[in-house]
Amino acid sequence: FLPRLVASMEDVEETYIMVKPDGVQRGLVGEIISRFEKKGFKLTGLKLFQCPKEVAEEHYKDLRSKPFFPKLIDYITSGPVVCMAWEGVGIVASARKLIGSTNPLQAEPGTIRGDLAVQTGRNIVHGSDSPENGKREIALWFKEGEVCEWTPALAPWLRE
Ligand code: UDP
Ligand code: MG
């Protein structure tokens, strides 16, 4: 029992989810939060934020050499974003599935991008691509004390 308990704690991952400026402008914040809430993941951080250029550049630093990088930075800084930290078992890959493919025209119906977006450059939401990047991005976007440790009352109804 005890070893399994320890192993299951290790399966808990953190991911950084962000409603991009187009998602905020289009009034899709509630809808997007709702998808993750309904799935059963735990929200641990949430804020509306007008992001400085330096934060956007640091967030997307792996894409610095891409031709679309300047436009991407303009897009992400064009209005407020909604920053979220979420926690759950297998959440990194699961959130990417809920979000759908980078190009919304290729994203499956039922996914956020598949249902609500049409263009790669206006794909309304971000999700971390690895547990390491989840931690890195949460540390980048949130200050100390902004992420909450809490136990949802529903926890035993979501995980055995
Ligand atoms: N992007 C773009 N043009 C491209 C590829 C990506 O504008 O050809 C933007 C798009 O907003 C995407 C973000 O850059 O979500 C990050 O790209 P990545 O390949 O990491 O896609 P994601 O992880 O967001 O699905
Ligand atoms: Mg990515």
Question: What is the four-CA torsion angle of 10, 89, 83, 51, rounded to 10 degrees?
Answer: 50
Asked if pLDDT for residue 1 goes beyond 90, the answer is: no
Which pair of tokens denotes residue 91? 């959440």
Is the distance from CB of 39 to CB of 98 less than 8 angstroms? yes
pTM over 0.80: yes
Burial of 26 (0-12, 13-18, 19+ CB in 10 A): middle
Among 19, 61, 99, 123, which residue has the most ligand 1 atoms within 8 Å of its CB, making it the best to mutate? 123
pLDDT at 4 over 60: no
Amino acid identity of residue 35, one-letter, is R
Q: For residue range 53-101, list pLDDT tens digits in order.
A: 999 999 999 999 999 999 999 999 999 999 999 999 999 999 999 999 9
Ligand 1 atom nearest residue 122's Cα: 11
Residue 78 corresponds to which tokens in the numbers above? 């064009």
Q: Is 124 in the pocket of ligand 1 (CB under 6 A)?
A: no
Give 3-state DSSP helix, strand, coil % of the chain, rounded to 5: 45, 20, 35
**Token pair 């979220």 is at which residue?**
84
The ligand placed nearest to the CA atom of residue 101 is: 1
How big is the CA angle at 34 (ends 28 and 39), to the nearest 5 degrees?
Answer: 140
ipTM reported for the complex, 2 dp? 0.99
Q: Kindly list the catalytic residues.
A: 126
**Minimum-distance ligand 1 atom for the alpha carbon of 99:** 25
Q: Give 120-137 pLDDT, tens digit per residue.
A: 999 999 999 999 999 999
Mean pLDDT, the chain, whole residue set = 95
Mutate to test the pocket of ligand 1, among 22, 64, 120 (most ligand atoms within 8 A of CB): 120
Alpha helices (runs of H) in the chain, residue ranges in sequence order: 2-11, 21-25, 29-39, 53-59, 69-76, 91-99, 112-116, 131-141, 155-158
